[in-house]
């Protein structure tokens, strides 16, 4: 067996070092994996070639990605070295500027990758990769767009391959509460709004919403606004907004903010009244779902929120989720908001090119799917290998997407996306007019020019 070398985060800023040989987590030929795709990897032989990978994953995620890379190492004969760091964003820039970049870098968001491509620190992905992504990923063009940047010479190429995705367009609820009240899962935004009003008419409170997050207070509202942008405007308008080609004061953006306000600024719609939205911590907000009688019936939040559910909660039984639906009358398909990591070549080599091609094999996705914490838009994977039925259900939402867009605030300049946009949403939740809030956010963006 060829070696998959591992490194500690402490060694990340120093030098690459070898450790222990990794065992294959799942025996080839056993289970419902696409083992044919693993066998096909053996046609590429890289005996002795070192392939270095640097990414943001530590702890369980590091163990999971190492398990995936072990199959590439075993099949091709390459020596693969991975390092994870919680200072990835700073360290990858330092390494690239010093001429000591790894072969592959795993970026948590596209903005930094785009910046490094413009500085000449990334190499275009292998020829044909863009076509493969279009054909094999759900909402394939979305993923090509998110990974395509201008290089140092100004020409655009595909630099980023998205692998490991998160979904944000979710609404959480308690199935027993819905069943007791006779409520059905809404299939359209019109139905979701009608359900919101019906719950009030029945004497209940539809939503729990909390924006509190210490120094990051306000960010949950940006997810609401981003989801509403994708449900009221074409993807091209969302992209223009992210790039500030249309300003925050544009009617399309004002409209999305006010769509959030339809839910959050109505005292009857929110547990504790609209005045509690900005002061309720997002980690405490979903607790209202579990009270008896329920303080609320629905909660909009990303796939990570069960970490803050009461201990012992079984997702899929005690609590569940549904897709935040789109408007039936706007013909915008099924957009999904989320985030994800992209793999880019920071030091080109035959091994680096082969590793990107490895990500096109179902086995590269299925090995992580069979562990935990992984979603993929790859249509050819066997979703039966998911170890967690909740993740399988989330992945079905991802595979059903007609459009995928990355979290907008993560793509905006930090002073806006992680600054004025957050504080502006707190002000808006507190009663300030959308136009005034949008104008202040835009001024902060203009000040960066």
Q: What is the pLDDT of residues 86-121, one digit of tens each?
A: 999 999 999 999 999 999 999 998 999 999 999 999
> What CA–CA distances, in Å, run from 318 to 302, 306, 362?
17, 11, 32
The CATH number of residue 76's host domain is 3.40.190.10
> What CA–CA distances, in Å, run from 106 to 82, 83, 127, 213, 427?
10, 10, 20, 27, 35
Alpha-carbon gap, residue 152 to 144, rounded angstroms: 19
pLDDT the model gives residue 2 = 41
Looking at the structure, do residues 134 and 275 belong to the same domain, yes or no?
Answer: no
Looking at the structure, do residues 112 and 17 belong to the same domain, yes or no?
Answer: yes
Looking at the structure, do residues 353 and 428 belong to the same domain, yes or no?
Answer: no
The token duo for 69 is: 């890379």
Q: Please state which of the ranges 12-21, 99-108, 178-187 shows the lowest mean pLDDT.
A: 12-21
Looking at the structure, do residues 415 and 359 belong to the same domain, yes or no?
Answer: no
Average pLDDT value for residue range 171-195: 98
Q: Global pTM?
A: 0.91
Q: Where does the pLDDT of residue 22 fall: very low under 50, low under 70, confident under 90, or very high at 90 and above?
A: low
pLDDT > 50? residue 328: yes
Domain span at 193: 170-335+410-446
Looking at the structure, do residues 303 and 344 belong to the same domain, yes or no?
Answer: no
Alpha-carbon gap, residue 265 to 201, rounded angstroms: 17
- DSSP states of 203-258 as a string? T---B----B-GGGTTHHHHHHHHHHHHHHS-HHHHHHHHTTSS-TTSHHHHHHHH
Looking at the structure, do residues 81 and 8 belong to the same domain, yes or no?
Answer: yes
pLDDT > 50? residue 137: yes
Looking at the structure, do residues 295 and 362 belong to the same domain, yes or no?
Answer: no
């Amino acid at each position: 067996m060829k070696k998959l070398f591992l490194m500690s985060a402490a060694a990340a800023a120093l030098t690459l070092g070898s450790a222990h040989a990794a065992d294959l987590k799942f025996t080839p030929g056993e289970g419902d994996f696409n083992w044919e795709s693993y066998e096909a990897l053996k046609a590429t032989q890289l005996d002795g070639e070192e392939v270095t990978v640097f990414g943001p994953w530590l702890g369980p995620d590091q163990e999971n990605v190492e398990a995936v890379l072990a199959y590439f190492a075993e099949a091709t004969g390459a020596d693969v070295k991975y390092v994870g760091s919680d200072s990835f964003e700073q360290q990858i820039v330092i390494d690239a500027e010093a001429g000591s970049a790894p072969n592959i870098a795993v970026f948590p968001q596209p903005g930094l990758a785009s910046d490094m491509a413009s500085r000449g620190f990334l190499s275009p992905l292998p020829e044909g990769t863009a076509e493969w992504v279009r054909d094999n990923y759900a909402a394939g063009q979305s993923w090509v767009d998110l990974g395509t940047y201008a290089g140092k010479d100004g020409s655009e190429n595909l630099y980023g391959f998205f692998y490991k995705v998160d979904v944000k367009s979710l609404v959480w609820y308690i199935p027993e509460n819905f069943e007791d009240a006779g409520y059905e899962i809404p299939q359209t935004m019109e139905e979701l709004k009608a359900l919101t009003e019906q719950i009030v008419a029945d004497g209940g409170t539809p939503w729990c919403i909390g924006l509190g997050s210490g120094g990051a207070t306000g960010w949950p509202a940006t997810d609401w606004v981003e989801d509403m942008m994708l449900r009221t405007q074409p993807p091209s308008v969302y992209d223009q907004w992210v790039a500030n080609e249309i300003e925050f004061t544009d009617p399309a953006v004002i409209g999305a903010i006010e769509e959030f306000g339809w839910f959050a600024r109505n005292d009857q719609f929110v547990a504790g009244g609209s005045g509690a939205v900005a002061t309720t911590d997002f980690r405490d907000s979903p607790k209202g779902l579990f009270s008896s009688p329920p303080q609320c019936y629905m909660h909009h939040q990303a796939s990570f929120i069960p970490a803050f559910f009461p201990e012992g909660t079984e997702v899929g039984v005690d609590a569940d989720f549904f897709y935040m639906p789109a408007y039936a009358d706007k013909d915008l398909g099924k957009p999904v908001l989320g985030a994800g990591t992209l793999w880019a070549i920071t030091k080109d080599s035959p091994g680096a090119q082969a590793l990107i091609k490895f990500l096109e094999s179902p086995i590269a996705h299925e090995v992580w799917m069979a562990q935990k914490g992984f979603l993929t838009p790859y249509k050819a994977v066997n979703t039966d290998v998911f170890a967690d039925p909740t993740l399988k259900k989330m992945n079905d939402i991802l595979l059903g997407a007609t459009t995928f867009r990355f979290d907008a605030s993560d793509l905006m300049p930090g002073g806006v996306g992680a600054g004025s946009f957050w504080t502006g949403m707190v002000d808006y939740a507190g009663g300030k007019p959308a136009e005034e809030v949008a104008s202040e956010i835009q001024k902060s963006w203009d000040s960066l020019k």
